[in-house]
Amino acid sequence: MALPYSAVGIVFHKSKANQDGNGPKDPRHVYANPLAPWSCCITALGLYWAFCPRQGPGPLLPGSLLQNRFRKTFARAIGQQDNQTESVLPLRVSW
């Protein structure tokens, strides 16, 4: 993760187009959304760090599998049971 200018740069080591992780690792930039803080990635990251401080270098979310780390942390954040996290899918934004 990097902080270029007024954005957070996130490097995805694997993607749909680069599944083996050997391709270029250009950061994707995420900007703050002060007009809609309830859907702002920067606000969500700040809240996560405020309530779950990290203990040194390593993965941002604890656990071994990225999908499980996100699913469990997101479920706790919205107060749902583990088996009800399928409701995440309708929240995706299409460009």
Q: What is the 3-state secondary structure (H, E, C) of the chain?
A: CECCCCEEEECCCCCCCCCCCCCCCCCEEEECCCCCHHHCHHHHHHHHHHHCCCCCCCCCCCCCCHHHHHHHHHHHHHCCCHHHHHHHHHHCCCC
Task: State residue 57's pLDDT score.
Answer: 74
CB atoms inside a 10 Å sphere around CB 47? 13
Task: State residue 87's pLDDT score.
Answer: 47
**CB-CB contact of 72 with 63 (8 Å):** yes
Task: State residue 67's pLDDT score.
Answer: 66
Task: State residue 21's pLDDT score.
Answer: 67
Task: State residue 80's pLDDT score.
Answer: 59
One digit per residue, pLDDT tens: the chain, 95 residues?
555 567 888 777 777 777 776 776 778 888 888 888 888 888 888 887 788 776 677 766 666 666 676 777 777 777 755 454 444 444 444 44
Task: State residue 95's pLDDT score.
Answer: 45
